[in-house]
């Protein structure tokens, strides 16, 4: 059975993107195993501490390497993705064996992108993430991507209530990503 690693770009406890990821996990159901990556304890990338890698870096790299696919659910911060997510990807882009880029944990990994955000539905964040995935030699599923536009009631209640259309789009993305993993 395939193993999916879900990466939520927000560190916020009541994160809408975490809620979106939880719904995606329900939609994947028993077709794959799903793990949520914990990475709030990562230090900032600093080449002075790269070798040997700090324990939290070793831990996230090991989770990434065991995954068949990464599904990123990210908010949009100022038309891009959050800095904490960039820091994680920066660590994953660095070689495990000094000097050999092919040993980077994220190299060749299959990736899907979704977002929940304001009026742009995270298009800016996903656009920047798409470029980042190319830069780090990940294997991005370009389409479909799901962008959920948060409405006023979400911000009032902290509850993400997906429309039928959004849930159907997320279900279609789950189907497409599971198929992409078989390629
Ligand atoms: C620093 C910061 C910048 C933001 N910039 C944007 C933005 O450019 N576009 C947008 O749609 N929402 C923006 N937002 C609002 C987020 O979309 C909203 O807070 C969302 O709930 C964050 O996702 P989360 O619930 O998963 O934490 C920003 C929020 C923060 C904290």
Taking residues 124-136, report their average pLDDT.
Answer: 98
Instruction: Find the domain containing 78 and state its range.
Output: 2-181
73-98 pLDDT tens trace: 999 999 999 999 999 999 999 999 88
DSSP state of 147: E
Give the total number of structural domains in the chain: 1
Mean pLDDT for the chain overall: 97
Ligand 1 is surrounded, with C-beta below 6 A, by 10, 12, 15-17, 75-79, 116-118, 120, 150
Substitution site in 13, 76, 155 for ligand 1 pocket (most atoms within 8 Å of beta carbon): 76
Q: What is the 3-state secondary structure (H, E, C) of 92-115?
A: HHCCCCCCCHHHCCCCCCEEEEEE
The CATH number of the domain holding residue 69 is 3.40.50.360
150-179 pLDDT tens trace: 999 999 999 999 999 999 999 999 999 999
Confidence of residue 53 (pLDDT cuts 50, 70, 90): very high
124: its two tokens: 């800016």
Q: What is the pLDDT of residue 101?
A: 85
């Amino acid at each position: 059975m395939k193993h999916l690693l879900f990466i939520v770009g927000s560190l916020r406890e009541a994160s809408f993107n975490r809620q979106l990821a939880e719904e995606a996990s329900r939609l994947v159901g028993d077709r794959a195993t799903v793990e949520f990556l914990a990475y709030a304890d990562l230090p900032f990338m600093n080449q002075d501490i790269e070798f040997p890698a700090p324990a939290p870096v070793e831990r996230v790299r090991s989770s990434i390497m065991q995954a068949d696919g990464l599904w990123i659910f990210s908010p949009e911060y100022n038309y891009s993705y959050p800095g904490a997510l960039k820091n994680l990807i920066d660590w994953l882009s660095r070689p495990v064996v000094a000097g050999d880029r092919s040993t980077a944990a994220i190299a060749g990994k299959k990736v899907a992108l979704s977002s929940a955000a304001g009026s742009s539905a995270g298009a800016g964040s996903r656009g920047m993430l798409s470029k980042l995935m190319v830069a780090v030699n990940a294997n991005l599923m370009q389409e479909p991507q799901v962008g959920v536009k948060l409405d006023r009631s979400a911000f009032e209640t902290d509850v993400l209530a997906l429309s039928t259309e959004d849930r159907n789009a997320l279900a279609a993305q789950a189907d497409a990503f599971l198929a992409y993993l078989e390629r």
